Structure 1
């Protein structure tokens, strides 16, 4: 019964309970697949329903005028079940029944749910209401739907459990700081507050994205803090060890006389692991073990303060500052060590070697001042974006090639699937254009330029664009979504489905006179007639894709800054004079 059915990474075929074993027939499997699809679709809507009202607001007016029940009175959680009157639930069930039996024409209620087209879950309402003709694309879309449904079922279960335990919806938990990486991290039954401990400092404040301190366990915090300090101290020493030998030289003499191994033979790279003999590593492990055995309680203070105990003579404020500096330096060293090892693994060179050969030297243009012929030849087949890395599979590594802006950068390997490459370029341009408008929108919003009360009768907050987004009424967002949906539908019909006919990804036909030999879509709105030479047009396209990429990164950090500080950033610098720069007193003698 599994033949021809969709299986995908990471679990492939996963049936721990054995539903599809033994006497499972195709009808049994189809029935379970239909149930899986149905529950997944419902949970996708349900997860949106758990988040949307708290983020974008609830409908105005009454849900039940006879019971004086407003939409605003219904919570986003399990408590909504008891809030909605019985008549309301009967209507919901009636609509669900009509959808099952009439709208989707599934007459096999309680049966195998083959749907309208004799396939589990296929009711004839495909992507944008249309059937997908390409078999490969159809398989991809159906697999995506299955995976999204499975994710939604897990997410909905987690949301309900959280709601049942805390009495709060997911958005309420985030905004109140119970599971927020940007707030104080206090839980509902907090006994110990880790956000008040040393290390919770700008720019992230108390930052615990993995929820390791979700239950405020003080003993666990102390254990994690000791591990953080220990790894940080080791990495501070390790980063120095990865750099100092190449800068100041190595010890003279032999590391292992019996193996004729000198200190100068050991590189500052990962290869040093294999150069040092096993007996040497055993000595290192023995020394580390002796140090660990002496400190079984994982103390923060090992009793060896710098400068022979001078730190204990500092004031409490100064001592706190020094200890915080140690934590932050350790965190920086852990990140630096990870980056140095990753660079070494990718290039085979130590950090100093990469600087001196010009691979990442900011002072000599990224290239060595004097290059040998073999290095030039080696880089000839490498990526323009990452000169030490080969060109990713599927890319041309030519910025004016079929995909303008192709600099040989594809760390995720998307370009391996050539069939989807036009769609990826389409998505990149679409997201980039939106982000260019969004970064300008942030600037306009924070500068105070707004139409009031054109969009809403409620006051809006210019300093906090994320907060202002919640002040737009629901009907306003629905209008915006309708316009976006119509635009996307036009793009799907006239661009995305026309790739096979020669239409270029992202070409909306805004300039019919552009020097392009490919087929052009006909834009339904106003167009531009600026004339360009082919070289000028290619340069314009290159600038556009660069601006798109920059805008996507910029908008991400704008939102992150806004969420962290409560104030939106702007592209326009703020030249407001600081208070300490203002004139104090009257320095002009009177009477002159």
Structure 2
């Protein structure tokens, strides 16, 4: 038998009676108690669910079924089921953009600092002029391509599986066949064949969302770092390693405000 309350799952163990003619109740906590006459007795043992703040009761709509659900919603944004469904997809997309952005910033900054390539610091890359196309052309191409992808993603969100139907994408539907909203598949978007059974891929989803949240925090750090130091993250790392005890975030922030 099982009982559940908000934020905690309970295992209910049936009582056991032992003794010579006397009914003695032995609970899972190690003490004995006489059960009420005429009524069987059960013992409830609490098993805490991991939450973002230990001991906190998560809201009832965050029941632990979502990947990376630790009961964090202080503003109550997910109370409406449809809003929660949308926020899950929005977080997933932001996580992926952040992971791609962090990787791009670190790789290009490393190439720049080591002198392998003459690249601008990441926050000035958008102002660069390229010989193969002007800025307006690049902007329009980006808007068209990203608009197309985001439109397809939204249509699949509205009607799951609709974008895998024949004739939707020039006969290439099988190459982009989605596993479920937010998790595209096929040989192009899932070349390694990971998590083919997306319904039972909770571990893969959890790893992705954890790395994505870490990447979003890293991007926030890059923004603040660039605003305060006016250099890239690799430059900051090299400066810190040159004098670890005196070149820290504390000294940097103190010097920037003085």
TM-score bracket, shorter-length normalisation: 0.5 to 0.7
Give the number of aligned pairs: 178
Retained in 2: the 8 A contact 1:558–1:569? yes
Shift in Å, 1:537: 3.3
Retained in 1: the 8 A contact 2:99–2:212? yes
1:492 maps to what in 2?
154
Retained in 1: the 8 A contact 2:179–2:196? no
Distance 1:412 1:551, change over 3 A: same
Deviations 1:37-58 (A, max 9, x none): xxxxxxxxxxxxxxxxxxxxxx
Structure with the largest fraction of helix: 1
Instruction: Name structure 1 gaps, 5 residues minimum.
Output: 1-371, 451-458, 512-524, 580-592
- Write the distance in 1 (CA, Å) between the matches of 2:52 and 2:235: 26
The aligned runs of 1:31-180 (5 Å cut-off) are none
Retained in 2: the 8 A contact 1:443–1:571? no
Shift in Å, 1:509: 2.2
1:388 maps to what in 2?
55
- Write the distance in 2 (CA, Å) between the matches of 1:566 and 1:480: 27
1:574 maps to what in 2?
238
2:173 maps to what in 1?
none
Q: What's the RMSD between the two structures over aligned residues?
A: 3.8
Deviations 1:45-97 (A, max 9, x none): xxxxxxxxxxxxxxxxxxxxxxxxxxxxxxxxxxxxxxxxxxxxxxxxxxxxx
Retained in 2: the 8 A contact 1:443–1:572? no
Distance 1:574 1:378, change over 3 A: farther
Shift in Å, 1:574: 3.3
- Write the distance in 2 (CA, Å) between the matches of 1:382 and 1:536: 20
The structure with the largest alpha-carbon Rg is 1
Q: Establish whether residue 480 from structure 1 lines up as the match of residue 137 from structure 2.
A: no
Deviations 1:206-252 (A, max 9, x none): xxxxxxxxxxxxxxxxxxxxxxxxxxxxxxxxxxxxxxxxxxxxxxx
Shift in Å, 1:572: 10
Retained in 2: the 8 A contact 1:562–1:568? yes
Tell me the TM-score normalized by structure 1.
0.27
Distance 1:385 1:551, change over 3 A: same
Shift in Å, 1:576: 9.4
Retained in 2: the 8 A contact 1:425–1:506? no
The counterpart of 1:552, out of the listed 216, 237, 252, is 216
1:424 maps to what in 2?
87
Deviations 1:268-306 (A, max 9, x none): xxxxxxxxxxxxxxxxxxxxxxxxxxxxxxxxxxxxxxx
Retained in 2: the 8 A contact 1:442–1:465? yes
Retained in 2: the 8 A contact 1:415–1:421? yes
Shift in Å, 1:448: 2.7
Secondary structure of 2:238's aligned partner: coil
Tell me the TM-score normalized by structure 2.
0.57
Structure with the largest fraction of strand: 2
